[in-house]
Structure 1
Amino acid sequence: MKLSSFSPVVRRRVVVTGIGIVSPIGIGREKTWEALCQSQTGTTDIQHADYLLPPSLWNDKKISQEEKQKMKQSLIEAMPCKVAALVRSQTTAGEPSFAPTAHAPRSFAFSEYCVAEALRDAGLLSPGAKPSLVVEDLNRVGVNMGMGIVSLDDVADVALALHTDPLHPHYSKIHPMFVPKILGNMLAGVTAIQYGATGPIGSGVAACATGAYCIGEAAVWVQRGKADIAICGAAESCVSGIAVGGFSRMRALCTKYNSTPETASRPFDKQSGGFVMGEGAGVLVLEEYERAVRRGAPIYAELRGFGQSSDAHHVAAPHPEGLGARHCIERALEDSEGVGAADVGYVNAHATGTIGDRIELKAMEESLGVDRSAPLYISSSKGALGHLLGAAGSVEAALTALALRRQLAPPTANLHDPCLSLEEQQQKKMCLIPHGTAQPLSTPAALSTSFGFGGINTALLFTQVN
């Protein structure tokens, strides 16, 4: 039997042409970047969290404001962790409030802002009060947006309605949009609906690696010709009593610095005491390289490699030897088809201020520390941002692309006593960038790592574009 002859599959180049960020240290890409480079922190007393109580309690007009405050205070007093990194409510006219509504949780509002900022940055939005996508074919626009945890507050509201008095369940209090509000793919759905994007759609769920996973998957679409443009990233908002209580019971959250919240998130620091829960969103616009060049789009970086691995070890703890972390970094290099370990001059690390920090450094040493002539600069954005959970990977990928484009590595806020001494750093050819000012770079490649519960590991490799 004669076999048919097919042309080989050609892998297309993928570049970042737009970035949108909402974070605890700034609304928008530039405000976040500026604050990050100045070691500002977004962690504050959890008293400032507006949505600790479920909406059905906070919005109940039969409950006085005084009683609501007592409920909130009782909840806070019950929690061992009393800090969080919050996107603060905006008070200036014209600025977004990011308040949850009956039809959409707070994370949807974060995402909507970021998508618009990223598309506008990429030059793909028309002007006017109701901007639309300026593209030739909406069938060539894909959307891959996710979240690590669905709206727990909406689940709590339904539970209260049905089970507060089991003999008299209040079925009618369930909002008709309850189910769409808690579906993990709905960020992608509402984004595609808003902009009429009818290309491929997806919504990866990978715990704290969700944002990075969505970006990596979207990049494959563009590489394989399934889409020419991809809107991708993640959003998260679960600074609520349920989430804080759940993570506190795991002893994952920092309780050591309740009296000095701004110092609580301490990646790579000997005095770290757990992670600080944060909220926000990060969105990238990925585009096929030739198309971006033809239209004169701004290009931040090329997304050259996407690495994935599984620890296959534990539901919450990283592999003690960092095998999964090392493997995903090595696979990102392999996927790049040409970028070597020594070419990577900066890593925006997943580091959360937990036992995983040292393990991640071991993985970097084994995967990136071979035959280096220049030090590998390393920092973690979580010192400033807190841990944005599902959105962490996309926000940090965006910051990595900015660092590469601007050849400037942001510092690690609150890193004063590194877990590696200066002598150890020199020996391993690593440089942990401490609290203070940003570090000038001279590197053609940078890496962003993201790891999640369940042993999910991802690495995104970016390179400069000539």
Structure 2
Amino acid sequence: MVLERMRELRRRVVITGWGAITPLGLTVTDTWAAMLAGRSGIHLVEGFETGDLGTRIAGQIRGFDPALYIPHKVSRRMDTYAQYAMAAATQAVESAKLTIDDELAPRTGVLIGSGYGPVNYNHGVANTLRDKGPRAVSPFAQIAGAIDNAAGEISMQFGAHGPSRALSTACATGTDSIGEAARWIQFGFADVVLAGGADNCITRGDLAGSGNARALSTRNDEPEKASRPFDEDRDGFVMSSGAGVLVLEEAEHALERGVPILGEVIGYGSTSDAYHWTAPHPEGAGAKAAMRLALQDAGALPSDVDYVNTHGTSTPIGDEREVHSIRAVLGDHATRIPVSSTKSMTGHMIGAGGAVEAIASCLAIQDGVAPPTINCERPLDPEMNFVAGVAQDHDIAVAMSNSFGFGGHNAVLVLRRWAQ
């Protein structure tokens, strides 16, 4: 009863801008075009030695120039994850035609999450300390080496004086960031929020650790075929870098500005498995609960969902549990709609994944097309439509986007085509 009353009182949250830096492209437009073409962004790792690693492939960002978005005196103190976040935020603000003036600044928030944060920067600090001693360590080390660095830099860049913070829930980070930011707007704490996630954890240490956990694909001879969600021959996920940021806005505020509305956030659910650090709950209890909470929050029925952008990482256990959970929540309807994984092309961008996938879900609604799951040659569940190989035209009014992370973090968004 309390939740129903809160839904009646809360304000509507719409999306008016977005930006993305991914292994498929350095903008949302390029990333989406690559997705619809079924192109892989996975390659052999460049930039450091991988010969002694079990996994030598990843989804790295190529051709990125921070100077296009950030003054050099600022970018040199930032980890690459934060540079990606700043670039995506700049794209999002520009696409939303947003001017944060003195009146709007106190009502504008920033919520940028990351699963791993500035790992490359911190590794560099450790190396400097070892090789050159303490006097060579930058006075910015404590700032640039913190997980809130991206959020802080973005708030300063755009003069956002509202709430500003970082959030970290592993692979669910991007989705949680959008969901929590939407609540700020729904209940009046902000009118506009720049929300999303970013990560660049492709390092020798991270590849070694995740590889030793047997989480990563070792299909090194065929990088573009390594990420194969819902395929019987999947052998692990592919680690990737990237960033996704959305401009969330109170609906009336957006209408008054006269800007195009790209979609609406209508539901959000978040749970914890409290079961295991790397394995999902055997019955998918947390995942199912998050999907049901998101639908309840949206005031939607399972039959209202027209498309699911899955977590779909390509791990043997994770994919199986997600299919089980989707079927349990959506029932027979799960076999009548497209259910795909864009991670088959991007790889797993960790904290950025959910944010980029929310953007992809909104574009699927706009364009009436479900992006494919490439490399799905022997489907785990033959009755499900995994959009294997080729994008499919489909009328999509409501999309669900799933994110399930290490540590048992589960987050789900429900997005809808805008209609007054």
TM range (shorter): over 0.9
**Alignment-mate amino acid for residue 310 of structure 2:** A
Aligned partner (choices 450, 455, 458) of residue 408 of structure 2: 455
Query: Is the CA contact (8 Å cut-off) linking 1:98 and 1:110 kept in structure 2?
Result: no
Over the aligned positions, Cα root-mean-square deviation in angstroms equals 2.3
Aligned partner (choices 417, 420, 425) of residue 378 of structure 2: 417
Secondary structure (helix, strand or coil) at the match of 1:27 reads coil
Q: 1:246 to 1:361 in 2, by over 3 A?
A: same
Aligned partner (choices 188, 199, 203) of residue 151 of structure 2: 188
Aligned partner (choices 178, 197, 214) of residue 234 of structure 1: 197
Q: Name the CA distance, whole Å, in 1 between partners of 2:353 and 2:24.
A: 14
Q: Name the CA distance, whole Å, in 2 between partners of 1:83 and 1:417.
A: 23
Length-normalised TM-score, structure 2:
0.93
**Alignment-mate amino acid for residue 10 of structure 1:** L
Alignment match, 2:356: 395
Where in structure 2 are the equivalents of 1:263-278 lying within 5 Å?
Answer: 263-278=225-240
Secondary structure (helix, strand or coil) at the match of 2:389 reads coil
Query: Is the CA contact (8 Å cut-off) linking 2:69 and 2:90 kept in structure 1?
Result: no
Q: Name the CA distance, whole Å, in 2 between partners of 1:444 and 1:419.
A: 27
Where in structure 2 are the equivalents of 1:430-445 lying within 5 Å?
Answer: 430-436=384-390, 438-445=391-398
**Alignment-mate amino acid for residue 16 of structure 2:** T
Where in structure 2 are the equivalents of 1:347-366 lying within 5 Å?
Answer: 347-354=308-315, 355-366=317-328
Length-normalised TM-score, structure 1:
0.84
Are 2:122 and 1:146 equivalent residues in the alignment? no
Where in structure 2 are the equivalents of 1:161-310 lying within 5 Å?
Answer: 161-163=128-130, 170-255=133-218, 257-310=219-272
Gaps of 5+ in 1: 1-6, 53-71, 126-132
Q: Name the CA distance, whole Å, in 2 between partners of 1:204 and 1:8.
A: 24
Question: Alpha-carbon deviation of 1:230?
Answer: 0.6
**Alignment-mate amino acid for residue 62 of structure 2:** R
Cα deviation 1:208-229 (Å, max 9, x = unaligned): 1111111111000000011111
Question: Alpha-carbon deviation of 1:238?
Answer: 1.3
Cα deviation 1:326-362 (Å, max 9, x = unaligned): 00000001111x2111000100000100020111011
Q: Name the CA distance, whole Å, in 1 between partners of 2:312 and 2:184.
A: 29
**Alignment-mate amino acid for residue 203 of structure 1:** A
Query: Is the CA contact (8 Å cut-off) linking 1:210 and 1:390 kept in structure 2?
Result: yes
Secondary structure (helix, strand or coil) at the match of 2:338 reads strand
Alignment match, 2:3: none
Gaps of 5+ in 2: 1-5
Q: Name the CA distance, whole Å, in 1 between partners of 2:108 and 2:129.
A: 41
Q: Name the CA distance, whole Å, in 2 between partners of 1:440 and 1:109.
A: 35
Larger radius of gyration, structure 1 or 2? Answer: 1
Aligned sequence identity (%): 37
Query: Is the CA contact (8 Å cut-off) linking 2:19 and 2:88 kept in structure 1?
Result: yes
Paired positions, count: 412
Alignment match, 1:330: 292
Secondary structure (helix, strand or coil) at the match of 1:233 reads strand
Question: Alpha-carbon deviation of 1:134?
Answer: 5.3
Cα deviation 1:269-289 (Å, max 9, x = unaligned): 111110001001000110111
Q: Name the CA distance, whole Å, in 2 between partners of 1:325 and 1:373.
A: 15
Question: Alpha-carbon deviation of 1:117?
Answer: 0.9
Alignment match, 1:114: 88
Where in structure 2 are the equivalents of 1:17-28 lying within 5 Å?
Answer: 17-28=16-27
Alignment match, 2:9: 10
Are 2:418 and 1:465 equivalent residues in the alignment? yes
